[in-house]
Structure 1
Amino acid sequence: MSQEIPAPDQDATVIDLADYLGVPSGPAPVVSFVKDEPVEEEPTVLVVQDQDEPPVKSQPQPVLPEVFTDPEARRHQLAVVRHSLVRHGVRSPVYAGRALGVVGLGARAAVRDSWSYVTAGEYGELIRQVRESGAGAEHIADLRAERAQKAGARRRESATVWSATGVATYAASVLALGQAWSLALVFPALLPVMATLYALGRREIRGRLAEGETFALTDLPADSQAEERPLLGADTINGAFHDAGLLKGDQQVSLVGPVRAVQMDAAEARIRLPRTLTAEKVLGEKAKLASALGVHVTWLDIAETAEPGVLSLWVAASDPLATSALSPLLEDPESVVIDVWRKGIPFGRNRRGEVVHMPFRHVNGLIGGTTRSGKGMALRSIIPGLGLDPRVRIRLVVGAKPGEHRAYAPVTSTFFGKRPVRLLDLLDAMIEEADRREAVLEDEGRAKFNEKDLERFPLEVLIVDEFPQYTMSKERIPDPTDEEGRRTLKVGEEIEHRLSKLAAYCTALNMDIVLLAQDPDAATVPRGFRNNTGSRTAFRTNSATQTNAILKDGSTGAGLRAHDIKVSQPGVAIVDLDGAEGELIRTFNVPDDRDEDEADPIAPVIAEGVARRSAAGCLAGQYEDRIEQSLLAWTGQTSAAGGPTGSGRPGSPEDAETGPVGILADMLAVFAAVGQPERMRTSNLLQGLAARDSATWSPEALGVDSADSEDPADLAAYVRTGGTELRRQINEALDGTGRSLAPKGWSAGGRANGYYLAEIRAAAGIDPV
């Protein structure tokens, strides 16, 4: 580094340069005195430079200020102009009313002054004063006679005559113009006289104002000024810092570069703090600073920069988390690139509009919140995103309503629900796999696996939804240490022990655990697991206790108050992730409010995940799965990809081989292709069957006109003919089984007929979940 200080006087006593310059002792710095020619603009300087540092070159100053060369700075300046135009445009009726008031005042003043002039009005005040003084009537009569004489003379003056003639002519011309042409021309014709009257009115107002008072046509009322939030600028920021008590006296913060317009209807400024003010103090007084800026505390974001003493101040003009954004997974699943190892899963966006990723590299996760706060929507981003990376093995365990997760089954390696004992077995199988991987690390003399090891040891991600349903289970199993078989163990407690044990060392082995809980507390989340969790997400909670249970002890005291999140904003959460500690975000939206017979928007993402995994040989059944092999050996049932039926119900492998065939299997495949809706219209079902077997189910094969024509009669004919053939094949497939299946009607914005998924499964001999 180099410093420039004034050179000591030539005749000064020689002193120790290290002490003089305040540099530490050690290798002697290179010290050179540079004496320029005596030019006033360039004084003599002393240059001190470390030996190992290259010479410092002065940077040329830019010709144009940054505000003209920085696109974001120009955007901000345009935003200021637009803000001013919109603000004054909205208030233009108020301004017009004020202007007309000034014109009216000018007209009254003009009439008053003109009348006073032609009637010699100044004599009226003189006569009043004489009367009050008690003078004789003769004196008053003389003044009245003099006034009449003066007024008569003024009325005969050329200026008076010409003025009256001009006003009369102007008024007549305006009236004639409106009568002969159009009343629309009257207003432009009146502009000169209105401008004159406005000037007279302003002069009258100035004469009436007290000393120090001013009048401006565009001044805002006091209440409007209080509600107005000026755009970010040096004066605004310094005023807010003073109002918040962060600055005193003549202290100031300075802008580092221009203010920039950024995403989410906001502006960002980099500010340099005075030496007496620390970043920690500013962050601690964030609420006061937001109040001083006239915004909600969630509309303000303050972040430290790499430069000491410089903060990034980001202020939004509206709630940046008021609306959710669609998940980027839905845009074009075939072109979406997911790198779970390096970036994680796109999870949501923060207040600044930046994408926040949930990490899965060497980290366990905890997600919690109240019902309907956004946990289920979070899974609709996490699981399909993981499914797009073939290097990930997804183990999905559901504590309640496994049917809601059936659409994820094709990309899972394990999927089941409502089976505490099987979860215990799964944890034992994962511990076995973890021990095997740990032995490999020990043999290779390494501390943890890295990305190059994913081919040998894929990333295992265990997701347990509603895990308190398992840890609070009252089921009991025999104690394996009791040879007499009298003692039993609580399954819930054993699950807690396994989770804590596995979480303590699994992340270094490319194995992660993610738990989701509703209304958790300190007793709900196993402490051993929580202490080894590096990824935490708190949706809306009911209390500070629940917030601390999800995040970490003392979080509410640090301002992380998930229990203050609004009920009207599902999906808003506080995340404590790598690189996003204590950040407020809103998770991406993956719509699921479709009608029962519509395709699930996430189905194309799952289909793309299946295609990628199939090409990589990573679908369930395509590779050696030691964990599922252990489960099969211990229980005799498989839960790979949701079990034999893909519904989350484990079963024997033979069940998959003897599953439904023929038309019933084709119908189930059509339902599965669109995300397993509850029901489907016959017309949509026929189109799905035609996509699978056009030789049998296309309109041409059925002898009717194309159902894609604009004539509704063609679609009706296709549904009628195809529906008849469909019922015939169903009856033929069920003949002799004692089961039946018939279409049913329902009301969905009109009458609709079709088939229910549960009834097809029952007819195929598959028990509903």
Structure 2
Amino acid sequence: MGNSRWVDPAPLEVARPRLPWWTMLPRWVKLVLLPLALAVVVVWVLAKVVRVVWFYPVSVALGLVTLLLRAWAGPWVFGAVVAAAAVVLFVWWWRDKTTFDVWLRWPRTEFRRVAVYAYQWRTVVRLSSLTASAKGREYLPRLRRTRSEGWRDRVRVRMVKGQAPEQWEARASGLAHAFGSQSCRVRVIRPGVIELDLVHSNPLASAVALPAMGSESAVDLRRVVVGRTETGKPWRLRLLGNHLLTVGVSGAGKGSLLWSVVWALAPLVKAGAVRLVGIDPKGGMELGQVPEIFDRVVYDNGEAAVTLLEEVAADVRKRAATYRGVRRLWARETGEPFTLLVVDELADLIAYQTDKRLRERAQAALQTITSQGRAPGFGVLAFVQDPRKEVVPFRNLFPTRVAMRLDEAVQVDMVLGDGLRARGANAHEISESTPGVAWIKVDGHRDPVRARAFHVTDTNLVELRHYITGGSAIIVPFPDAGPHEGAAA
């Protein structure tokens, strides 16, 4: 013990408590500020209550009714009412699922907002790197209104200051997986606010039945109905003052769109107000099914096809000269028919033609028609499988572009425009079992539209021929025609 030395103990380090600033105020100041503090708390609580009522009105109303009924009627009556309501809802769902889904949209919306989105919102946006930090404070995107439509949820989001919609588009796939959806699309609502379309099922999985032949007065060349969009609305195409380029692999359903357009125009074709001119370089495999409805039709890509293009181009220049100083756009009152040029395989005319002279003549004529033909009443409906620039060098002359099933992801932006695939237009992911499904991009509109053309059968084409030509026949349906058999594709 004699050799032991005293060792000084280590100093005790205790963190100094940091008290709120208001605890240092004099007592009389606290008494003066107490009513103001209580008012702030009351306003904060009321704001939270209003927010809950705003986002969950049905749940709040059902909760209040449940409490009042339980207190007023007792447990036995309350249980009987709940059981009866459950039976009624089940029978309603069983007998008419469509109206059931419509009327229960709000309860479903509120449930999914809480259970799917609000519950994990902070975690998902943090893991997706969609938050921001400044001066030690974290800023999160705010979850706003949610709407559930059965096949998709529309989730409105207020972005963090300084964010761009492109940041959300880059993480759309991860957001879809995080929220249990098939896909996620980003749409801009207004500056700082976006809407996420989280798709759960495919509303275009079933073929869209062709409607009955319309009347002549019902056809509007500015709004030609050719199918149905994924939201259930009619798919309308503008033909007057427009050209359409449709791209898709073999079997994608390009023929469904072609004949849907012709079916819609049939009353005007019969009346002479619309003239159809066709070129089918595949030997007439498509347009040759009903050649009688065309004013002129050619079944190759040689001299006859090029001559026809040059004749149409000459008609464009002639009619434009007639309209100069008189009118700016074709109208039916002019007495001249609207001319629709249908080219079933555009590449065979302007790219695959081995004769350089014919190829250059075809390109020159088509460029004249597409650049000058919209105002004097000429439209082009062109179909092609290869969307590369060297195949269709003047894609920009087609204001409306339709992308059906494509082979590669890079082809989506070739057809629809740069950045469209990032916004959800995944035409390369369209199933082979859904011919006629397409993504549509119209100049002047930021977001593409997904739709499906009508299902046109061989029986419908026979009916179309006899309607326009005035013939008569007994139309016998083809045997065992499934949803994809006997269709124009």
Normalising by the smaller structure, the TM-score range is 0.5 to 0.7
- The change in CA–CA distance for 1:80 and 1:68 in structure 2 (over 3 A counts) is closer
- Residue in 2 aligned with 1:522? 389
- Residue in 2 aligned with 1:241? 125
- Residue in 2 aligned with 1:151? none
Distance 1:274 1:382 in 2: 45
Letter aligned with residue 508 of structure 1? A
- The change in CA–CA distance for 1:273 and 1:472 in structure 2 (over 3 A counts) is closer
2:211 is aligned with 1:331: yes
Distance 1:290 1:304 in 2: 17
- The change in CA–CA distance for 1:589 and 1:453 in structure 2 (over 3 A counts) is closer
Q: Tell me if structure 1 keeps the 8 A contact 2:387–2:411.
A: yes
- Residue in 2 aligned with 1:463? 342
Distance 1:65 1:546 in 2: 44
Q: CA deviation at 1:534?
A: 0.9
Identical-residue share of aligned pairs (%): 20
- The change in CA–CA distance for 1:473 and 1:568 in structure 2 (over 3 A counts) is closer
What is the aligned counterpart of 2:316 among 426, 429, 434?
Answer: 434
What is the aligned counterpart of 1:344 among 209, 224, 234?
Answer: 224
- Residue in 2 aligned with 1:385? 264
- Residue in 2 aligned with 1:319? 202
SS at match of 1:277: coil
Q: Give a deviation string over 1:403-429, Cα, whole Å, max 9, x none.
A: 543454444332332263222222222
Distance 1:588 1:324 in 2: 11
Pair member with larger Rg = 1
Output the TM-score relative to the length of structure 2. Answer: 0.65
Q: CA deviation at 1:576?
A: 1.8
- The change in CA–CA distance for 1:607 and 1:253 in structure 2 (over 3 A counts) is farther
SS at match of 1:418: coil
SS at match of 1:601: helix
Output the TM-score relative to the length of structure 1. Answer: 0.44
Letter aligned with residue 315 of structure 1? L
- Residue in 2 aligned with 1:576? 441
- The change in CA–CA distance for 1:387 and 1:254 in structure 2 (over 3 A counts) is same
- Residue in 2 aligned with 1:367? 246
Distance 2:199 2:332 in 1: 44
- The change in CA–CA distance for 1:475 and 1:312 in structure 2 (over 3 A counts) is closer
CA RMSD of aligned residues (A): 4.1
Q: Give a deviation string over 1:317-350, Cα, whole Å, max 9, x none.
A: 22344x13414xx233246975443223334423
Q: Tell me if structure 2 keeps the 8 A contact 1:241–1:292.
A: no
- Residue in 2 aligned with 1:725? none
SS at match of 1:490: helix
Q: CA deviation at 1:400?
A: 1.4
Q: CA deviation at 1:561?
A: 5.2
Q: Tell me if structure 2 keeps the 8 A contact 1:76–1:261.
A: yes
2:191 is aligned with 1:308: yes
- Residue in 1 aligned with 2:153? 267
Q: Tell me if structure 2 keeps the 8 A contact 1:374–1:572.
A: yes
What is the aligned counterpart of 2:459 among 594, 597, 600?
Answer: 600
- Residue in 1 aligned with 2:307? 425
Letter aligned with residue 296 of structure 1? Q
Q: CA deviation at 1:301?
A: 3.0
Q: Tell me if structure 2 keeps the 8 A contact 1:396–1:415.
A: yes
Letter aligned with residue 372 of structure 2? Y
Distance 1:427 1:591 in 2: 28
Q: Tell me if structure 2 keeps the 8 A contact 1:539–1:573.
A: yes
Q: Tell me if structure 1 keeps the 8 A contact 2:139–2:160.
A: no
Q: Where do residues 704-719 of structure 1 align in structure 2 (5 Å cutoff)?
A: none
- The change in CA–CA distance for 1:269 and 1:475 in structure 2 (over 3 A counts) is closer
Q: CA deviation at 1:461?
A: 1.2
Q: Tell me if structure 2 keeps the 8 A contact 1:396–1:416.
A: yes
Letter aligned with residue 585 of structure 1? R
- Residue in 2 aligned with 1:541? 406
What is the aligned counterpart of 2:182 among 296, 318, 328?
Answer: 296
Q: Tell me if structure 2 keeps the 8 A contact 1:384–1:408.
A: no
Q: Where do residues 213-252 of structure 1 align in structure 2 (5 Å cutoff)?
A: 232-248=116-132, 249=138, 251-252=140-141
SS at match of 2:455: coil
Q: CA deviation at 1:462?
A: 0.4
- The change in CA–CA distance for 1:603 and 1:590 in structure 2 (over 3 A counts) is farther
Letter aligned with residue 124 of structure 2? A
Q: Give a deviation string over 1:477-534, Cα, whole Å, max 9, x none.
A: xxxxxxxxxxxx7323321221123222111222111221123433222x2x323111
- Residue in 1 aligned with 2:453? 588
Letter aligned with residue 512 of structure 1? G
Q: Tell me if structure 2 keeps the 8 A contact 1:565–1:572.
A: yes
2:255 is aligned with 1:376: yes
Q: Tell me if structure 2 keeps the 8 A contact 1:234–1:255.
A: no
- The change in CA–CA distance for 1:674 and 1:404 in structure 2 (over 3 A counts) is farther
- Residue in 1 aligned with 2:415? 550
Q: CA deviation at 1:369?
A: 1.9
Distance 1:255 1:475 in 2: 59
Listed as ranges, the gaps of 5+ residues in structure 1 are 1-39, 42-60, 85-228, 477-488, 593-598, 612-668, 681-747, 750-769
- The change in CA–CA distance for 1:583 and 1:364 in structure 2 (over 3 A counts) is same
Q: CA deviation at 1:600?
A: 0.6
- The change in CA–CA distance for 1:607 and 1:303 in structure 2 (over 3 A counts) is farther
Distance 1:236 1:339 in 2: 49
Q: Tell me if structure 1 keeps the 8 A contact 2:185–2:423.
A: no
| Higher alpha-carbon deviation: 386-395 or 457-466 | 386-395
Q: Give a deviation string over 1:354-400, Cα, whole Å, max 9, x none.
A: 43322213222211222112212221212212224454322122111
What is the aligned counterpart of 1:504 among 371, 383, 408?
Answer: 371
Q: CA deviation at 1:281?
A: 2.9
Distance 2:228 2:294 in 1: 23
Q: Where do residues 377-416 of structure 1 align in structure 2 (5 Å cutoff)?
A: 377-390=256-269, 391-416=273-298
